[in-house]
Structure 1
Amino acid sequence: MWVLAWPIFIELFLQFLLGAADTLMVSRISDDAVAVVGFSNQLFNALMILFTTVASGAGILIAQKLGSRQKDQARTIGMMAVTASTGIGLILSMILIAFPVQIARVLQLPEHLLPLGKVYISIVGGGMVLTAMMSTLSTVIRNTGNTKGPMYLALGMNVVHIFLNYSFIFGAFGFPQWGLTGVAISTLISRLLATVFLVIMFMYSFERRVMLREMFAVDTKLFREVLKIAWPLGINMACWVFSQLIIFSFISILGSKEMAARTYMNTLESFCFMLGSSIAMAVQIQVAHLFGAKRTKEAYKSAYRALGIGLILVTLNAFVIYLFGKHFLGLFTSDTEIIALGASLLGLNLLLQPGKMLNMAMGNCLNAIGDTRYTMMTAIISMWLVATGLSYVLGIHLGWGLVGIYGCMIADEYLRGILVFMRWRGQKRLRMAEQEQAKENSTRIPTPIAVDV
């Protein structure tokens, strides 16, 4: 598991640096610019569900097929996933280029932020096709067991993005000083370069090289298998992203300072959970391989090992953030009101992270064995009733603000975490796989043994 996890951690850490550098540099423009970036990212995350659904389902099935030695099928699944995601990404790009202001108004972006929102949403959103390709290609490559390739690429992408950010924001090295527009262009260029290299890496990820002319081949049976796993995953992810988007719109009602504080805290939370997230992603790949290879007992134990390690790491990280978070917030902004708002959430973050680890580790393991409908049901119930519904009641209606909203997010993570933990303990899907394997073994005709006389 560690062989899979450490490159994923490095990749996530580099992505965190990318986000932190973005936030830090954008904060030099204005806190309003930070609020727009945070708002836009929530929107982009919501739209990404449309292609990450296919990518996630394909990734799990690729790992299972490779575990059961069905390598050609894994290759076909990878090609179909990339083609489908690219098509969805193209449609989203055209919509975001055409209607940035209308979309921002519907989601209640404050009126004075609309000019900045129009620029950022149209440029970065216009490159959604690149985001779709990057997400799917990285997922496919990681689930073949190659977690180092995306890691190295993330390193290069970070270097390019930070260099261009600095150049466009401050007008360094002879570049024009374009402010938030420059940040958007920098994001687009770095993603374009990363996509080119990921395509090359993908072509050599299987035993047989992937040819471009094969990319439009469709195997309906395999695609149905992908969708069987993917559609509940898609609803699960949609629940999370859209609930977060709605919660962010609640925060926008509180004001632009609250939006900026939430964006800064999101950066700190990402740092806090990186190790835990990498372990959760690694154990999903591992459990899917073991499940595909019919090694169900090893798959069962792997989940607990990952959970134990993850809980220790995220709790330690959350404690460090609790101790020094106020100083970290001061790196992003000098506004004492925003710092105070963010600091009021540090103790709650210490409670949030273990629940998030429990939920993600056990949920990923259920997804890895195809039990995606259960995680979907927990998401529908908990995210909408607890995370979203109660956030409005406590945060807006009763006036508890950000603290009330965070309390609801904590309750949601622990409720889902307990439910998926109990499901894994029951071993329902694992026992079904064992029974199917036993039945298959009992009906198999023994191979005659030739005896020399």
Structure 2
Amino acid sequence: MKSNRNPYGLWALAWPIFIEVLLQTLLGTVDTVMVSRISDDAVAVVGLSGQLFAALTTLFMTISGGAGILIAQKLGAKRGDDARTIAIMGLTVCGGIGLTIGLLLLTQAKALANLLNVSAELLPLWDVYVSYFGGGMMLTALIAALSTAIRNTGNTRAPMYIGIAMNVIHIAMNYVLIFGMFGFPEWGLFGVTVSGNVSRLVAVLLLFYVFIQAFDRRIGFKDLFTFKPRLFKEIVHIGWPLGVNMSGWVFSQLAIYTFIAMLGAAELATKTYMSTLESFCFMLGYAISLAIQIQVAHLFGAGKTREAYVGAYRALAIGIGLAMINALLLLLMGRHLLGLFSQNEAILALGTSLLALNLLLQPGKVLNMSLNNALNAVGDTRYTMMTALCSMSIVATGGSYWLGIHAGWGLAGIYCCMIADEWVRGLLVLRRWKGQKYLRRAEAASRPLESRAIAAETGMSV
């Protein structure tokens, strides 16, 4: 008997995403602790290279993000074949982009280090991590495309289980290969790259198995060569502003990390540790905001614009409340938690001083994140792109250099600018969502269709 459970209910979508993010964050914290046992320099390399990887992944996240929104919209509009085709094209295009990025990182690690002003003492570790872990970027691209497509069909549980399995494999192999346990060689940071590539490969295989059965018609090998220009144009239309927005954020973060690197290795390691701790503050807010994007896109495709409008505010209120509770807990326990990563007193003192600022950062971040996702779900991606680019370039990046470097405020000055950026963008998208531009447009477009349907039923002309 077919289940009557609504796969697009907010809680049904959000809780598996939350569990996935929670366990990924916990395992990511364990991963950071393991890397810190190699050295603080190794942590600095992983943190800085992570920003580089994030910058490059925007190239395929543009496609997977646009495809994901359209999949939910098409399924809401009862156009399952179009949703299936969009998912297939998203997978193949993302895979090709990921392969290209992987080859770039494998062959040009040293050139990228010079571009990012990586200090001489970090170069040997940088070369190992960027070349070998970054060289497997195609796996990350396939994971992004597959998991996004599956989630937007309403199945958020499968990516959760597979994400958990991937991270458990990664941590277990880290333990063995970093420290040379059970007779294996002691590979240090190179061991992290091996475990990362193996765990990602396992995730791709499991996600692909779920993906081929995610739609009404099973996806076969020949279907992977499907390409429909009309639908791909829709993906690009809704996806390119998402990509530019994401690229702007990542490059802004990359520039900020470069400024922090100018302050010194201790500041860079502190920011990496703080980013790990901060992720606990907004992970439930993030899960809810991602769930609301899927839900709003589905409701919008189905023509239920009023439900979509109210649902975004409900998600926002829940997300902000939970992020604030987590931020308060982090403030109380922060120094002890930082001590899990490092015993360097300079790092502990600096990190502790930033925890109070985190109380201001988190609500602005959730406000920005939730309503950005809601606007993206209805196709208003250009507005979110323009507001993000202006605020990130002027407030976040420009302000961080001015306060953090020029004015000598250091890492605290950079944090102040990050807070200001989140609030500026959050208030702008709040104003836009209240205006309901795309929702009203969809309502207006649906009225002639409703009139024709009524006329067809009654035999009257319109």
Task: Give the shorter-chain TM-score range.
Answer: over 0.9
1:426 is the counterpart of 2:435: yes
Matches within 5 A, 1:360-375: 360-375=369-384
Q: CA RMSD in A?
A: 1.0
Corresponding residue for residue 9 of structure 1: 18
Q: Report the alpha carbon displacement of residue 441 of structure 1 after superposing the two structures with TM.
A: 2.0
Corresponding residue for residue 166 of structure 1: 175
Aligned residue among 105, 125, 142 for 2:134 = 125
Corresponding residue for residue 185 of structure 1: 194
Aligned residue among 415, 435, 454 for 1:406 = 415
Matches within 5 A, 1:284-299: 284-299=293-308
Amino acid at match of 1:428: K
Corresponding residue for residue 156 of structure 1: 165
Q: Report the alpha carbon displacement of residue 315 of structure 1 after superposing the two structures with TM.
A: 0.4
Structure 2: how far apart are the matches of 1:203 and 1:341?
Answer: 49
Q: Report the alpha carbon displacement of residue 105 of structure 1 after superposing the two structures with TM.
A: 1.4
Structure 2: how far apart are the matches of 1:34 and 1:8?
Answer: 27
Matches within 5 A, 1:32-431: 32-431=41-440
Secondary structure of the corresponding residue to residue 182 of structure 1: helix
Structure 1: how far apart are the matches of 2:183 and 2:195?
Answer: 15
Q: Report the alpha carbon displacement of residue 444 of structure 1 after superposing the two structures with TM.
A: 4.4
Aligned residue among 430, 442, 445 for 1:436 = 445
Q: Is the Cα contact below 8 Å between 1:264 and 1:332 reproduced in 2?
A: yes
Structure 2: how far apart are the matches of 1:112 and 1:38?
Answer: 15
Structure 2: how far apart are the matches of 1:182 and 1:448?
Answer: 67
Q: Deviations over 1:342-384 (max 9, x none)?
A: 1111011111000000001111000000000000011111000
Change (3 A) 1:17 1:448: closer
Secondary structure of the corresponding residue to residue 144 of structure 1: coil
Structure 1: how far apart are the matches of 2:63 and 2:350?
Answer: 38
Q: Deviations over 1:417-448 (max 9, x none)?
A: 00000100011110010000012223447336
Q: Is the Cα contact below 8 Å between 1:379 and 1:416 reproduced in 2?
A: yes
Q: Deviations over 1:249-268 (max 9, x none)?
A: 00000001100000000000
Matches within 5 A, 1:11-26: 11-26=20-35
Q: Is the Cα contact below 8 Å between 1:229 and 1:370 reproduced in 2?
A: yes
Greater CA drift, 404-413 or 150-159: 150-159
Q: Report the alpha carbon displacement of residue 174 of structure 1 after superposing the two structures with TM.
A: 1.6
Structure 2: how far apart are the matches of 1:291 and 1:3?
Answer: 18
Q: Report the alpha carbon displacement of residue 33 of structure 1 after superposing the two structures with TM.
A: 0.5
Structure 2: how far apart are the matches of 1:173 and 1:12?
Answer: 30
Structure 2: how far apart are the matches of 1:9 and 1:136?
Answer: 19
Corresponding residue for residue 4 of structure 2: none
Q: Deviations over 1:256-307 (max 9, x none)?
A: 1100000000000111111000000000000001000000000000001000
Structure 2: how far apart are the matches of 1:414 and 1:34?
Answer: 29
Q: Report the alpha carbon displacement of residue 67 of structure 1 after superposing the two structures with TM.
A: 0.4
Corresponding residue for residue 3 of structure 2: none
Structure 1: how far apart are the matches of 2:134 and 2:222?
Answer: 28
Secondary structure of the corresponding residue to residue 164 of structure 2: helix
Structure 2: how far apart are the matches of 1:232 and 1:374?
Answer: 9
Give TM-score scaled by structure 2 length: 0.96
Q: Report the alpha carbon displacement of residue 14 of structure 1 after superposing the two structures with TM.
A: 2.0
Amino acid at match of 2:390: I
Structure 1: how far apart are the matches of 2:456 and 2:73?
Answer: 27
Structure 1: how far apart are the matches of 2:254 and 2:309?
Answer: 34
Secondary structure of the corresponding residue to residue 447 of structure 1: helix
Aligned length: 450
Secondary structure of the corresponding residue to residue 446 of structure 1: helix
Q: Deviations over 1:115-161 (max 9, x none)?
A: 00000000110000000000111111000000000111112112211
Secondary structure of the corresponding residue to residue 155 of structure 1: helix
Structure 2: how far apart are the matches of 1:31 and 1:124?
Answer: 19
Structure 2: how far apart are the matches of 1:285 and 1:445?
Answer: 30
Q: Report the alpha carbon displacement of residue 16 of structure 1 after superposing the two structures with TM.
A: 0.9
Q: Report the alpha carbon displacement of residue 19 of structure 1 after superposing the two structures with TM.
A: 1.7
Give TM-score scaled by structure 1 length: 0.98
Greater CA drift, 357-366 or 438-447: 438-447
Q: Is the Cα contact below 8 Å between 1:17 and 1:158 reproduced in 2?
A: no
Secondary structure of the corresponding residue to residue 216 of structure 2: coil
